[in-house]
């Protein structure tokens, strides 16, 4: 018999399984991604009272089962329901994106407390203050750093030429190289994306920031949008995933 493991966790997804059960996937502090079966969760709401809703922060108790990666969910105690996250379409879209993009970097059963904490703080931020592009840029850059892919933005990734003193506006971002390339080096990388001097400055400023930014009136929205588009492309490249909620953020008529 496997022993019961207990860890703080965030509910990422849940779906029905058979007549009465639910399958639930979590990002946990101690064990990375965990997917388990909640027996009777559809029929008896008493055992899992509103604790299997996406975004919920819970204390998860589970145990492994023989011959399957699907854990048995023993109990799920609510720590923070994030009720105000579901009050607007903007918040739901943004919170879904945070979960998808963070989950993409996490691994099954590999401790990932820093990713868990980052997501936990991000969801609280969106719930309390609502989404913004500068917040999302901060979230994405910090996430890349935590996952070991902090983009190189100060100098050319190949020849080490620094941006200072070199012609601005001729730099490109190469996802494969993990950062900027100068004009001559990017000739070798047809897929590298041009990045304006202003967008680079925005990304550098956000990357240097110590905490999640509340607002950046000095950033033009065009530069932020351009910088974030490169970050998202980089994240998709590193995780080999298409981010479904990202396209929803683009296509929905969000006002922020």
| Contact footprint for Zn ion (CB under 5 A) | 156, 158-159, 161, 182, 185
Closer to Zn ion by Cβ: residue 91 or 161: 161
Closer to Zn ion by Cβ: residue 143 or 156: 156
What is the distance in angstroms between the CA of the first residue and the CA of the last residue of the chain? 51
DSSP per-residue letters across 3-14: PPEEEEEEEEEE
List all residues 6 or more positions away from 198 whose beta carbon is below 8 Å from its beta carbon.
Answer: 220, 222, 223, 226
Question: What minimum distance in Å lies between the beta carbon of 169 and Zn ion?
Answer: 15
Question: What minimum distance in Å lies between the beta carbon of 158 and Zn ion?
Answer: 5
Question: What minimum distance in Å lies between the beta carbon of 217 and Zn ion?
Answer: 33
The Cα 246–Cα 20 span in angstroms is 32
Question: What minimum distance in Å lies between the beta carbon of 164 and Zn ion?
Answer: 14
Which residue in the block uniquely carries the two structure tokens 């490109």?
172
Closer to Zn ion by Cβ: residue 50 or 184: 184
Closer to Zn ion by Cβ: residue 153 or 212: 153
Closer to Zn ion by Cβ: residue 10 or 185: 185
Question: What minimum distance in Å lies between the beta carbon of 151 and Zn ion?
Answer: 15
List all residues 6 or more positions away from 225 whose beta carbon is below 8 Å from its beta carbon.
Answer: 133
Contact between 27 and 112 (Cβ < 8 Å): yes
Residue 25 token pair:
């996937």
Give, in order, the Cα–Cα distances in Å from 106 to each of 64, 111, 144, 240, 256: 19, 9, 12, 13, 28
């Amino acid at each position: 018999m496997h022993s019961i493991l207990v860890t703080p966790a965030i509910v990422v997804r849940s779906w029905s399984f058979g007549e009465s059960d639910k399958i639930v996937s979590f990002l946990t502090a101690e064990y990375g991604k965990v997917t388990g079966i909640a027996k009777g969760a559809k029929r008896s709401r008493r055992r899992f009272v509103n604790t299997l809703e996406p975004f919920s922060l819970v204390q998860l108790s589970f145990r492994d089962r023989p011959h399957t990666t699907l854990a048995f969910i023993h109990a799920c105690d609510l720590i923070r329901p994030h009720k105000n996250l579901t009050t607007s379409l903007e918040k739901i879209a943004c919170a879904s994106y945070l979960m998808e993009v963070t989950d993409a970097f996490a691994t099954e059963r590999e401790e990932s407390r820093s990713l868990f904490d980052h997501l936990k703080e991000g969801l609280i931020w969106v719930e309390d203050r609502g989404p913004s592009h500068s917040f999302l840029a901060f979230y994405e850059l910090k996430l890349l750093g935590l996952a070991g892919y902090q983009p190189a933005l100060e100098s050319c990734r190949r020849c080490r030429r620094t941006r200072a003193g070199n012609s601005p506006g001729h730099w490109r971002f190469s996802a494969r190289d993990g950062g900027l390339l100068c004009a001559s080096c990017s000739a070798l990388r047809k897929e590298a994306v041009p990045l304006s001097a202003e967008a680079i400055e925005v990304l550098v400023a956000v990357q240097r920031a110590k905490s999640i930014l509340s607002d950046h009136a000095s950033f033009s929205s065009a530069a932020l949008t351009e910088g974030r588009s490169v970050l998202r492309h980089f994240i998709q490249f590193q995780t080999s995933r298409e981010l479904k909620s990202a396209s929803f953020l683009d296509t929905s008529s969000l006002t922020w």
